[in-house]
Every structure is written in C-alpha cells, then in structure tokens.
Amino acid sequence: AQKVTQAQTEISVVEKEDVTLDCVYETRDTTYYLFWYKQPPSGELVFLIRRNSFDEQNEISGRYSWNFQKSTSSFNFTITASQVVDSAVYFCALSEISNFGNEKLTFGTGTRLTIIP
Amino acid sequence: EAGVAQSPRYKIIEKRQSVAFWCNPISGHATLYWYQQILGQGPKLLIQFQNNGVVDDSQLPKDRFSAERLKGVDSTLKIQPAKLEDSAVYLCASSPQRGPTADTQYFGPGTRLTVL
C-alpha cells in the first residue's frame, strides 16, 4: 500500500528564516507522481508542484524549491526567506493507480507551518 | 477561470439528521472527486466520478453516504443519517481527465460539517 509520511507535525520559524518540510513516501510502483499542496486557513488546497518519478532534477520557483531523492524516497520542500503569508498547512501527496484503474492521491498528515513576524 | 465551487461553507447538524453538499467543478473538467478531511489528517478520497459515472467509491460508507453527478457536471454528496464521526471538512476537487498522467487536481474551499 502507498504511504506518505510527514514527520513534522508543526514548525514555527521567524520571518525571513529558511524552512524545510520533509516528506517520505513508500510505493511499489515504478511510475508515480508526487505533489505538494498548501492549505491556508481559508481551507482550500492550493496546488504547488507535481513531480514525475523519472525526473529527479530539483526545482525552484521563486522562494520555493523542491528536492526529490529517489534513493531515500524523499520529496522535501524548502521555503527560502519565509514570509507570514507562508503560514499554512502543507501536504505532500503520492499518486497511485488503484485496483479500479483510476488514479488516486494518498496524502500525508500535513505539516502546520507558522511564520512568526 | 472560475475555480471549484462548493456550498454551503459551514453546516452544523444534530446526529441522525441528514445533510447534503454541493460541488460545481471547473468548467470542462471530466473528473470529480469528493474527499473527507478529518481534523489533523490529510484528505481521504471518498468517491471519484469520470463524467457522470462512478470510477471508485471503495472508501465511501455506502450505508449512510451517497453521491451523484447528474449530467456529468455538478455533484451532490449526501449523508443520511449523520454520526458524530462524520464531523470533518468535505472537499471537492476536479481534474481535466482520468489518469494515468496524474492530472493535477484543483480543490474547492470545502464544507466544514459539525455533527452534534
């Protein structure tokens, strides 16, 4: 069965500090996708990134960067120079093909990030 | 482009009552998902529709939960009768098409249900 572990339940950092959110996954699939979503207090899950299992290049988007390491089954997310608006719950997710042939996401339990002004 | 719409945003009911949630996906999106998110947990898929057909309802408690997607557009999720453990946020999401390319799912704001 697929599993996503986000061991950090809550993290607090002072504004402008860098912070890394960890994500470790388990899968027997050779082809899979990994995702990060942000859930602000409004409740809506906001898509941040999707990464194919064959593409291990790190990605940077503004202050956000992602480190995908297949060898350690990790897909970590770093926010550089954090801002108060980054305060949210962040979810890592793994796609799988179910027994019904459809694709479904397995989410981690989330990491609540608080940026202190 | 309008996002996924859900209503109501909040609902408080007594146990054993019935409740219904509505979702309108992004225009043109063939696939629609309903998730249950219990406080402190990640979302869990309840049911997935492809157009107006059910693709996966393996985690839907069918003795009390039902969902439909008439005409392959908007969808309704119903709970009858509600239990205390149904208190959660119910999220609707949509994506352009079915896998296997892992379409990005776009989520609505959710409906927060409290069962007293």
**Per-residue pLDDT tens digits for A32-74:** 889 999 999 888 899 999 888 888 888 889 999 999 999 999 9
Asked if the model's pLDDT at residue A102 lies above 90, the reply is: no
Residue contact B99–A102, C-beta within 8 A = yes
The answer to whether A111 and A9 have CB atoms below 8 angstroms apart is yes
What local confidence, expressed as pLDDT, does residue A42 receive? 85
Enumerate the β-bridge partners of residue A97.
A103
Cβ of residue B58 closer than 8 Å to a chain A Cβ: yes
CA nearest A103 in B: which residue?
B99
Q: How many residues does chain A have?
A: 117
Interacting residues of B60 by C-beta distance below 8 A, sequence separation 6+: B46, B47, B67
pLDDT in tens, chain B (116 residues): 689 999 999 999 999 999 999 999 999 898 899 999 999 899 999 999 988 889 889 899 999 999 999 888 999 999 999 999 999 999 999 988 755 455 788 899 999 999 99
Interacting residues of B53 by C-beta distance below 8 A, sequence separation 6+: none
Asked if the model's pLDDT at residue A5 lies above 80, the reply is: yes
Mean pLDDT score, A82-109: 87
